[in-house]
């Protein structure tokens, strides 16, 4: 019987695994049928005290008892870390995930944004400050996913008269979908590919894949869209009025996902004591080599995600012969070292926008609802954070079961929105009311401008979400 089979039966590695091998040999010598051994070993694992005097399985029983005594035990905080909730009627599963996160010993305090919904480990819209530790799944799978807004020196009237020209620019200058790449002759150039991709052995292996995907847009809720930006406050950086703007949402693509999954698995292996409901909150100590590896890889993925957007906007602007009047971007799905409560915390914002005092950011609605250019108020109760969008009000599966393309086309037509492609799981009706979300966080951000989408491109149906 092999080690993998012993592990499946619940035998821990080390002395107990070795004792299990010895027990199996003794059992076979004693004439016990091979097919009976899995059931017997399972019984010993479940109740080792009953087999301590057994001549064949006694040593295994003793090793199991010792292993159980020496195994690490999860010790939650003496009292849960405090966190505050913005918004009403939030998904109870998202709240439960924040309550779980508040139990882990490295947690200090957190916040839950009004767009919150269920995620892996930390909910989407969750903010968590930790002490000298980073949690890969509290950062998220799509590391450094971000928003970027470019305002062009073109009249917004081209959205009506030259829509084909705009749609051709999107279709030509980026790619949508899981795993999509640019062919070698069309690959984009950016300084990020000259960065040190050898910060970890994993990122070194991912460099060529990253180059192939540089400037692509991904799937799920990722998009590139043209719309009308109405500047409401000149402190946004432009005179009041209406402008043609390009807005994009995507992240670090396949390389970011591989970094996230690799280091989450590693964190879980380092914390076998965590109960099932907390395994996705396994952390890496920043004083450890593993923690430093992930931190450096995360920083690189942040640079790479920014480069993806830079390439998309640069090439679309060049395609149109447009000049950029204003450029704003921000990222979420990241961890920052920040000062709060008189100490340095690692602030995880999973689907949450940085909203420090005076910090500009973009909070989108949906393909059929406006987004907003905002300026943070630096509210310390939210750890200087705000929502990263409207947030889903129903799952992707429920959305595809609840609506038809006929429903969607009518909805978008009434709002003067042209959809180039998307999956039915991303229909605007699957999202919360962005106006209610913005109202719930008026103490976190000021609205500087409003963006109304008019020409929207997302990955076609059938692509696995990456958000």
Q: Which residues are catalytic?
A: 388
* Ramachandran angles phi, psi of 337, nearest 5°: -90, 115
Residue tagged 């998309």 (tokens): 312
Calculate the CA 245 to chain-centre distance. 26
Cα dihedral sign, 158-161-166-167 = positive
Collapse the DSSP code of 284 into the 3-class scheme (helix H, G, I; strand E, B; otherwise coil) and give the result. strand
Cα(228)–Cα(416) distance, integer angstroms: 11
Helix axes 37-46, 58-70, angle to 10 degrees: 40
Query: Quick one: DSSP state of residue 366?
Result: B
Of 453, 40, 465, 459, whose CA–CA distance to 230 is shortest? 453
Report yes or no: 157 and 226 within 8 Å, Cβ to Cβ: no
Of 101, 125, 131, 83, whose CA–CA distance to 332 is shortest? 125
Report how far apart, in Å, the C-alpha atoms of 215 and of each of 150, 264, 458 are: 15, 26, 14
Query: Quick one: DSSP state of residue 122?
Result: S
Q: Biggest alpha carbon distance in the chain?
A: 90
Residue 379: Cβ-neighbour burial (10 angstroms; 0-12, 13-18, 19+):
buried
Strands (DSSP E) contained in 59-132 are 83-85, 107-117, 124-130
* Ramachandran angles phi, psi of 247, nearest 5°: -125, 135
**Radius of gyration from C-alpha coordinates of the chain:** 26
Helix axes 253-270, 289-320, angle to 10 degrees: 170
Q: Which two tokens stand for residue 415?
A: 């709002």
CB count in 10 Å sphere of residue 294: 29
């Amino acid at each position: 019987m092999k080690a993998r089979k012993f592990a499946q039966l619940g035998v821990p590695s080390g002395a107990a695994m070795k004792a299990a091998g010895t027990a199996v040999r003794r059992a076979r010598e004693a004439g016990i049928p091979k097919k009976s051994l899995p059931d017997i070993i399972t019984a010993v694992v479940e109740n080792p005290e009953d087999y301590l005097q057994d001549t064949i399985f006694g040593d295994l029983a003793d090793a199991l008892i010792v292993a159980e005594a020496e195994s690490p035990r999860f010790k939650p905080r003496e009292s849960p870390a405090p966190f505050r909730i913005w918004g009403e009627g939030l998904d109870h599963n998202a709240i439960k995930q924040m309550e779980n996160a508040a139990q882990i010993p490295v947690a200090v305090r957190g916040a839950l944004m009004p767009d919150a919904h269920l995620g892996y480990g930390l909910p989407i819209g969750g903010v968590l400050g930790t002490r000298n530790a980073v949690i890969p799944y509290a950062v998220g799978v799509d590391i450094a996913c971000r928003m970027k807004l470019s305002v062009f020196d073109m009249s917004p009237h081209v959205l009506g008269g030259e829509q084909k020209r705009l749609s051709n620019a999107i279709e030509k200058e980026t790619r949508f979908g899981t795993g999509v790449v640019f062919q070698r002759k069309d690959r984009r150039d950016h300084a990020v590919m000259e960065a040190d991709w050898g910060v970890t052995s994993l990122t070194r292996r991912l460099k060529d894949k990253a180059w192939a995907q540089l400037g692509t847009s991904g799937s799920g809720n990722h998009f590139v869209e043209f719309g009308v930006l109405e500047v409401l406050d000149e402190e946004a950086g432009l005179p009041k009025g209406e402008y043609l703007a390009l807005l994009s949402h995507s992240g670090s693509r396949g390389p970011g996902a591989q970094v996230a999954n690799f280091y989450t698995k590693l964190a879980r292996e380092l914390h076998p004591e965590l109960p099932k409901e907390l395994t996705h909150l396994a952390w890496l100590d920043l004083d450890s080599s593993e923690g430093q590896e992930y931190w450096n890889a995360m920083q690189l993925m942040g640079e790479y995600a920014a480069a993806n957007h830079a390439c998309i906007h640069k090439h679309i602007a060049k395609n149109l012969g447009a000049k950029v009047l204003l450029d704003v971007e921000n990222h979420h799905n990241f961890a920052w070292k920040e000062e709060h409560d008189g100490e340095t915390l690692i602030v995880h914002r999973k689907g949450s926008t940085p909203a420090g005092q005076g910090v500009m950011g973009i909070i989108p609605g949906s393909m059929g609802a406006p987004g907003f250019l905002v300026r943070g108020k630096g509210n310390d109760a939210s750890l200087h954070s705000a929502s990263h969008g409207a947030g889903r009000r129903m799952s992707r599966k429920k959305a595809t079961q609840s609506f038809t393309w006929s429903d969607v086309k009518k909805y978008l037509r009434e709002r003067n929105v042209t959809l180039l492609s998307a999956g039915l799981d991303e229909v605007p009706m699957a999202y919360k009311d962005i106006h209610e979300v913005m109202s719930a966080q008026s103490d976190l951000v000021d609205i500087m401008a409003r963006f109304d989408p008019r020409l929207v491109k997302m990955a076609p149906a059938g692509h696995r979400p990456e958000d």
